[in-house]
Structure 1
Amino acid sequence: MRILIMGPQGVGKGTQAKLLAKHYGIPHISTGDMFRYNISNKTPLGVEAASYTDKGELVPDELTNKIVKDRLAMDDAKDGWILDGYPRNASQVVALDRMLDELDTPLDKVVALDADRQTLMKRIARRAQEEGRTDDTPEAIDKRLKTYDEQTAPLLDTYKSRGQLVLVDGQGDIDEISRTIIGLLG
């Protein structure tokens, strides 16, 4: 199964992606984790990515597209994956469609989680404290949520028109949300 998991920052995409990956026996591929790994290890990609994320900005498409394509082509992703944090804008949808065609790996479903703004802000603030994430400042969070609303949320209509969209309330019990998603995916 090949699944995109989408939603605003703090909605629980990573948590649900990990649970789904375990359930389906496929890798959870997080662009955020890939960037954080490179940033913490000060790789050339990480240094370049940090120059954006430290200001609450998103990493440019060409950099993100390359890292995603390389990851989706790895052996452990041949039988499926859950992609978290990508695509985030219309040009990345086009790039992902091209990647999947080249890899001959069609997308099955898009799970979209949602929660109210107050819940998102609380979750992100808690995550910043627990994980020591320097990129989760109140200003950066606000900027990323606005960017999501403007650039990523409209992508859900694309996947809805393709019959791939599964909408799920991201508020409530983690295990209950996971069971709901699995039930909707069939």
Structure 2
Amino acid sequence: MRVLLSVMLISSMTLTACSGWRDSGVNPRNWFGNSRSAPIVNTTNTGERRSPSDRQTGNPLIEDENAELIVRRNASSAQKAGIFRRRARVEIYDGSLVDQVTSLVVEPLPTGAIVRVTGLPQREGAFDVRLLPISEDGPINGVMEYTLNAYQPIETPVGTQSTREVRVGAFLSNNDLEEINEIRVRGELNALSSRR
């Protein structure tokens, strides 16, 4: 009976000591905290831009963003020339900044993180919402900054806040997260940021 009581007492003390893991900085789910709002200041970024050659090469199994520039050795003849050849399309996105960024949540995953953003345009009917990175070269000084953009019709009613809300997400791999200490999303009137 004494042994059973001792084992139960020791195991209950050990289990209660484990509850601190949830709030510790070692837990990956706590790496990005709550987002904070900041006003937009019209200044230029003084940080140096890194060239793509400065970036570490990541996982060789993940396809590069500039894959269309690479000439593939095993390309079929239909891809090389002819009437069935697909031409590279250059897409021009004319979306404008969403008025306010209301929510920024970074959800950790085993393979990286999802950046989930909610914005509030001035009017109903915004569509084709996108998170566009400010720097194509990746994070600058550990800060990955995005703008929240959407096509926003001007001839629609203003409506209530719930009918105007737009949501968008972006995935960041573990390789991308190694260089990122802060994620910032800018709108027309404010910006939200989340730090590790």
Instruction: Give your verdict on TM over 0.5.
Output: no
Q: Which has the higher contact order (CA 8 A, sep 6+)?
A: 1
Name the TM tier (shorter chain): under 0.3
Structure number having the greater strand percentage: 2
